[in-house]
Amino acid sequence: MKFKKTLLKYVTLSSLFLTPVLDSTLAIQTIYAQEAQVLSVDNYLAQGADATKGQIITVEGYITGSLQSQTAYGKVKTNIALGNSQSANAVDTVPIQLPSGVLRSQYNSVDNPSLIGKKVRITGKSDTYFSRAGIKPITKLEFVDEESAAPETEKPETNSSTSVTSSAIPISTLRTSEQQQSYTVKGKIISVVNGWGGQGFYLVDDSSQGIYIYPKQALGYTLGDVIQLTGTLSSYKGELQLTTITEHALLKNTSIETVTKTVLIPELSADKQSTMVRLEHVSVGEISSDSYGTATFMLIDEQGREVQVRVDNRTGVNATQLLSKIDKGDIINLTGILSTYDNQNQIKPFDLSHIEIVKKADKETVTSSLKIGNIQGEGHVSPYNQREVTVKEVVVISVESSSRFYVQDVQPDDNDKTSDGISVFKANHNVSVGDVLSIQGIVNEYLGNGYTEKKQTDLTITEIRANQLTKTGQTTVPNPIILGVDKQVPTGSIDNDGMSSFDPQEDALDFWESIEGMLVAVDNAKILGPMSHKEVYVLPENATSPLNNVGGVSLALNDFNPERIPLLFKKGAFVVKSGDRFSGRLIGPVSYSFTNYKVLVDDTKQVPTVVSGKTQPEKTTIQKEEDKLTIASYNIENFSANVKTTSQEKVERIARSFVDDLKQPDIITLIEVQDNNGPDNDGTTDASQSAQRLIDAIVSQGGPKYIYVDIAPENNQDGGAPGGNIRTGYLYNPERVSLSNKPVGKIATWNNGELAYSLARLNPEDKAWTNVRKSLVAEFEFKGEKIVLISAHLNSKRGDNGLFGKVQPVTFKSEEKRHELAEQLKRFVAQGLAHQANIVMLGDFNDFEFTETLHIIERAGMTNLVSKHDEADRFSYFYQGNNQSLDHLLISNHLLNRYTFDMVHVNSPFMEQHGRASDHDPLIVQLHLKKDTTVPNDEDAKLLPITPVSDEQTSTDKDNNQIESARIQSDKTESMQTTISRSSQSTTTETTISRSSQSTTTETTISHSGQSTMTETKVIKGNVLPYTGEVSDTTLIGVICLSLALACIVIMVYERKVDC
């Protein structure tokens, strides 16, 4: 017994001496693990040229033509006009001076009319031009065009032919060569240049095979030139291309014979790609066009085999010209370039002469004029699509631009299922509201503005492409349909029959189609949320839909609130939030874009008055208590140390949220932390500086000095913006909570209800987590209790079909992957819950509380506190008029009797002008951790075995000391480098760890900034032992021995003995 007491004193006293030494080592228990701003047209015009005069600026917008005066377009080659939309009025554009030379010849809208309507980003000197803010002159023009073969990022330059030093290889050889390598070819240009964007063209050589050349800058060549060039072989949407041209030269006195091959549709094989082909006696299918004037249709042979044809307006042939030549059902011969798009064959003619009429289709001649209602029909596609029609006695109700306006029948057809209004396209139409017209033209279903996949997802807009306009008088514009009074948007469903029947009374989708193109109005509209992209979602003043705590409508199971009314403003220069309202009447025609119907409101003519509501940013109602742990989750939206992309104002707002609004939580799960330089794609993955920027801001506002931990992702492997390397991480207050004194691991594993590591990622190498933020698992200690946190940032909803799209019922393609990830999360937590582990899983799940994604995880024995929260307060995000919950917080079921939970709305109802710092609201929970022996009832938790710590995952020495780098690969000859970061003050130390076991080398780069010193790892016979980086191992052993000796001396004196 005396020996035990002596030993106890020895151990106790030894710990007193050893603690300072070990603290210096173990305080680092874990290791952590654009150029100038682009202005919009409106912003630049609003600030004026004086603010930036003489400076180089960049403005983004649409080429709308050229200016002959301050207020009028003209046919002028010395300038182009940049508008905020394709239909901007001349007075609302930024004038751009084109200097003489290549820039003027390539980009004046007189010689290059196909450029009109293109979205571009223009850089040049800010100056007054045409008596307003302009660019004089332009130095760089970039296309921002979803249909181009790749982003255009280089400015057009003059052709500077260089001597091509490499010898050319046949294109037939090139087409089977390794991609991302440089090759030299020579050939003849067989297409127009820049007909498909990027200054691209098609090249064919003596082997009669071709390749697409995509230089992204003007090389100065033209159709028929024979050239030699060097570039990098790559592929876009399945089409081979040479890009990044490094050398190029015109070959004079050289000729190459090119042959147009007459083929059948089944003979459109790979060896004919990028060459001219000809199809004969084929039938024209349905013709569709987009808002740019590009048309597509199918060609069908006698056996019913099909191939798509694309007529790109950039070639100089637009949809209007095409429709004046061919109709559905015509038999034609067609010549064009055989290309590939989305791995499907596509033929691209670039001149009207490429289309030869063999036989016109038999069609009914519409001899008498039609009502607009007849043209619109009872459905989403006109029964007169692609047919020439005449309408009379129609009145202009709205003018959108110099090329588009809307008309309604003066005498409607009294059929509620057919719209009495329609969009009309006619360049330089010169009509005014109130004009009575007679219109002759072709009915067309066209796609409005939308995302890249709009052809597959969006509904079309019915229009008349007018050939002739005749003004026959003036009349009063019909009264608008007052939504909520004259007609009610259905509240029950968007579509309940898969578009098999047309029911405007039941389906909101059909309701909007039944008034497409008509003038509608909303009186004293209730504003549901902040404006985004000039869109504001509203409800009529008399709407009876239940509102939530901020005056919006919340998404619920089987209720997507189809009664929401989107208003798209022309200027959109006001500030609104949830709970505000517009005073008075807002009027406009109904149109469609980006997978949604919209009311187009011209706020340059009717400026809305905003009446402010009572919604204010919130503070949590949770009161801090000494014996209770508070944990928050906050998606801080692409946060980094890069001051160009994360403003200091944003940093301070987020810091203020932590200090004041959330009352300084003990642990904070951060979502969307970017690496130190944000979107700069240079291979950086460490985020310690990003974290330190936030920590410093918190301290400056009176908050605690948090410590940050994460495990850095591999470069560009976890999704998000390229180069940003977003990840989840944790801030914790070391005065209140500590990270468990365990090593950092590669893969999170359980060991008898505790984590084997203090910090690790969940199944990071499983293919399910490819291009997804990896969940970070951490074990903390609070008041003697352990708690495990699991962060989540699951795959986004990108790829889901829009609620008002043409795919009905709506499919959510992204759900499948989230369900797979949720199953992995479920299996992991079930193993911990089998031992009554305290677990909190939290973050951005990119799914709603009522979805299967959350239910899967809950089946492990967890409860989503969002589902139990007050329905009127249950949201963290605002999207297209709906408040919704994408952020969630789940806890072990045995903790349900001792928690307090809050969703703190500081962002989602507001715009940046109100103080918004992110697009998500934070969540917070307060827990009272105490011993509980209740056994969970969940069967999954009972049945799932505990996964032991495997040899691959840990290295154990004789004393069972364990430590693991964040990423270790076990191949015998493989070497790898891993970055784990930790931030708290601002010192950076780097240590290289080598581990030798079966000739395997693993290198781990460890960086931290904080109060603690660095921990290195030394290899001893393949086992790994920790020691401080500021002393040698000999010194460390000496310090430990000295401490033990001193302890013995004290004990001897105390016990008055000589034998210790």
CATH of domain 372-474: 2.40.50.140
Of 882, 932, 877, 934, nearest in space to 903 by CA: 877
Q: Tokens in use for 470?
A: 């005749």
Q: With beta carbons less than 8 A apart as the criterion, state whether 916 and 884 touch.
A: no
Report which secondary-structure segment, H or E, holds 119. Answer: strand 119-129
Q: Tokens in use for 981?
A: 């970061």
Q: What does the pLDDT read at residue 364?
A: 57
Strand-pair category, 977-983 with 1003-1009: parallel
Q: Tokens in use for 359?
A: 């036989």
Of all residues in the chain, the percent with pLDDT exceeding 90 is 63
Q: With beta carbons less than 8 A apart as the criterion, state whether 709 and 759 touch.
A: yes
**What CATH class has 261-359?**
mainly beta
Q: With beta carbons less than 8 A apart as the criterion, state whether 119 and 64 touch.
A: no
Strand-pair category, 435-447 with 388-399: antiparallel
Q: What does the pLDDT read at residue 909?
A: 98
Q: What does the pLDDT read at residue 984?
A: 43
Strand-pair category, 461-474 with 421-425: parallel
Structure letter (DSSP) for residue 113: G
Q: What does the pLDDT read at residue 50?
A: 78
Q: What does the pLDDT read at residue 465?
A: 92
Distance CA 482, CA 475 (A): 21
Q: Provide the sign of the torsion angle of the four alpha carbons 865, 869, 871, 873, taken in this order.
A: negative
Of 112, 111, 115, 186, nearest in space to 148 by CA: 115
Q: With beta carbons less than 8 A apart as the criterion, state whether 746 and 714 touch.
A: no
Strand-pair category, 295-300 with 306-311: antiparallel
Distance CA 292, CA 276 (A): 25
CATH superfamily of 171-250: Bacterial OB-fold (2.40.50.200)
CATH of domain 38-143: 2.40.50.200
Q: What does the pLDDT read at residue 672?
A: 97
Structure letter (DSSP) for residue 218: -
- Helix ranges, 80-147 (H): 102-107
Q: What does the pLDDT read at residue 304?
A: 87
Alpha-carbon distances, residue 822 vs 495, 860, 866, 872 (angstroms): 29, 10, 17, 27
What are the pLDDT digits (tens) for 361-388?
Answer: 876 555 568 999 999 999 999 999 988 9
Q: What does the pLDDT read at residue 627?
A: 96
Selected from 2.60.40.10, 3.40.50.720, 3.40.1360.10, 3.60.10.10, the CATH number assigned to the domain covering 629-927 reads 3.60.10.10
Of 181, 166, 177, 144, nearest in space to 59 by CA: 144
* Total number of residues shown for the chain: 1060
Structure letter (DSSP) for residue 168: P
Q: Are domains 171-250 and 261-359 of this chain identical in fold?
A: yes
Distance CA 851, CA 301 (A): 47
Q: Tokens in use for 567?
A: 């208003």
Selected from 2.30.110, 2.40.50, 2.70.98, 3.40.50, the CATH number assigned to the domain covering 481-611 reads 2.40.50
Q: With beta carbons less than 8 A apart as the criterion, state whether 276 and 190 touch.
A: yes
Structure letter (DSSP) for residue 92: G
Domain boundaries, the chain: 38-143, 171-250, 261-359, 372-474, 481-611, 629-927
Question: Cα(first)–Cα(last) distance of the chain, in Å?
Answer: 15
Distance CA 814, CA 605 (A): 42
List, for the chain, all residue ranges whose pLDDT scores fall below the cut of 70: 1-37, 145-166, 363-368, 931-1060
Q: With beta carbons less than 8 A apart as the criterion, state whether 400 and 406 touch.
A: yes
Distance CA 982, CA 355 (A): 65
Of 507, 497, 509, 547, nearest in space to 526 by CA: 547
